Amino acid sequence: MEGGLDMATRKRLANRFRAEYAKGTKKQKGEVLDRLVAVGMGRSTARRLLSQAVGSEERPGPGRGRRPKYGEETQRLLERLWLLTGMPCDPYMKAMLDQWIPALRADGELDDVDGDALEQVRSMSASTIDRRLGPLKRAAMPRGMSLTRPAGEHLRNSVRIRKCTDEIARLPGLAEADTVAHCGPSARGEFARTLTMADYATNRAADVTARDNAKSNIRKAVDLAIPLFPFPVTCFDSDNGTESINDELIDRLQHKDIEQTRSRPYRKNDQATVESRNNHVVRKFAFYWRYDTEEQRDLPDRLWAKTYLLLNLFTPTRKPARIEQGRDGRRRTVYDRPRTPWARVLEYDAASRADGGRGYVDDATRTRIENLIASTNPARLGREIAAIQDELERLSRERTEGMARRQGLDMGCLLGKGDRTHARRRRTRQQIGTQAPFRAHLQ
């Protein structure tokens, strides 16, 4: 304590002489400082406290504040909707409510909900949703294993590197591709891979399970994924791994008249669209277990058929729109309005037809997808996903843990966090009185 004076005493003395110090001349200000120094206050401390806007000596205590706007029923409903929608972040959830709530009410999912509470949830801003859901957002995703091996130099050089100035990157049809290994704690032996293809312009994506990393199986997975896009795929962009750059896949893409490009070596940001899905889609829904039997490999394909509908038709996404520089000189990324991938496809289709083009979606495909949206209950879709996830865990968890124990690996990050997170979310479901459709815990 400076000169035996505590902070409260120093502030009271500064408040007492502050007006005199502010009005005084240079000589008078020096006299005020001398008096404060004489009672044990440092000269620099006195000058700082006298110059700044020090608060009053006696501050009033906190008032009662505003009455709460949202009641317990509204809070429970918000948590219930957050679990039903797959635990999205606040801007996405705000954008999802307008589409999900009518669909849930049409199928009787919200018959027991008070109308006032429902309107209060719909009126919440994204920031309010974030604050009120804060206690539930405590999960941390573990890291998986990277098994990408660079292709030979001759094959790599035959595939050009995609540039940011390419015109094709601004239109639907450029599909970024990547694979995720379902190997568990060991990369030995044969195990399933998930091939993800994500359209750069619309965020529409497709996931297909391959038996292993053999080039023939990856080529078959690509053949299955391409027809899942409602518009023609014109470019296949991948990393530099052998699973994507090999003679069989290169020949197949040339036969389909699809251009093939690649990212720069060791530059994951060149494929940010598909790389982001590895964690928040593939690992979120298919976990970190090892899938190496025929029964285990069939389950992810059933899972991806469900998530294909959920993520492309009912889940909004955001894309970077521009980079702005603030008054402080810092650059920040500005994102566009959250929209579902299907809505983005329709926007590109309308713009193309307005310019005299043929569009991207034919009438038959448009009608089929619109009917599919109208007839699908996203909450029921989520429960079907949860059932498949339960089966995946039943078939794979014990064997994956056994492999880790035999190898003497520390699976605490992979398994322990999953147990704690699953238990936490089970308690949450019990508290809010609903069965969450997604088991998106860390397993």
Per-residue model confidence as pLDDT tens digits over 181-233:
998 888 888 999 999 999 999 999 999 999 998 999 999 999 999 999 999 99
pLDDT score recorded for residue 374: 94
**CA separation (Å) from 132 to 74, 89, 436?**
10, 12, 18
How much is the pLDDT for 442?
Answer: 32
Within this chain, do residues 130 and 167 fall inside the same structural domain, yes or no? Answer: no
- Is 213 domain-assigned? yes
Q: Are residues 204 and 318 in the same domain?
A: yes
Residue 425 lies in a domain: no
Is 421 part of any domain? no
Positions in the chain whose pLDDT score sits under 50: 54-57, 139-143, 413-429, 431-436, 440-443
Residue 119 covered by a domain? yes
Residue 226 counted as domain residue:
yes
- Please compute, for residue 38, the number of CA atoms within 13 A of its CA located in the half-sphere on the CB side: 6
Q: Are residues 240 and 167 in the same domain?
A: yes
Pairing of strands 259-262, 235-238: parallel
Whether 15 contacts 46, CB under 8 Å: no
348 located within any domain: yes
Q: Which of 110, 136, 162 finishes a domain?
A: 136
Of 88, 105, 136, which residue is a domain's last?
A: 136
Q: Are residues 45 and 130 in the same domain?
A: no
- pLDDT of 243 reads 85
Whether residue 114 is found in the same domain as residue 161: no
pLDDT of residue 148: 56
**Shared-domain flag, residues 353 and 212:** yes
Residue 79 shares a structural domain with residue 209: no
Query: Residue 39: inside a domain, yes or no?
Result: yes
Query: Cβ neighbours of residue 69 under 8 Å, at least 6 residues apart?
Result: 120
Q: In CATH, what number is assigned to the domain containing residue 221?
A: 3.30.420.10
Into how many domains does the chain fold?
3
290 and 210 together in one domain:
yes
Instruction: Give residue 392's domain range.
Output: 150-408
The pLDDT tens digits for 333-375 are 999 999 999 999 999 999 999 999 999 999 999 999 999 999 9
Same domain, 97 and 30: no
Residues 6+ away with beta carbon under 8 Å from 361:
230, 231, 345, 346, 349, 369
Q: Are residues 229 and 346 in the same domain?
A: yes
Tokens, residue 230? 């409602």
| Residue 56 to residue 7: CA distance in whole angstroms | 14
Residue at 413 is within a domain: no
Q: Residues 285, 172: one domain?
A: yes
Based on its alpha-carbon atoms, the radius of gyration of the chain, rounded to whole angstroms, reads 29
Which stretch of DSSP H or E encloses residue 391? helix 378-407
Q: How far apart are CA 332 and CA 319, in angstroms?
A: 14
What three-state secondary structure class fits 331?
strand
Given this model, what pLDDT does residue 191 score? 92
Residue 176: helix, strand or coil by DSSP? strand
- d(CA 267, CA 178) in angstroms, rounded, equals 13
Whether 196 and 258 share a structural domain: yes
Ramachandran sector of residue 108 (left: φ over 0; alpha: ψ -120 to 50; beta: rest): left
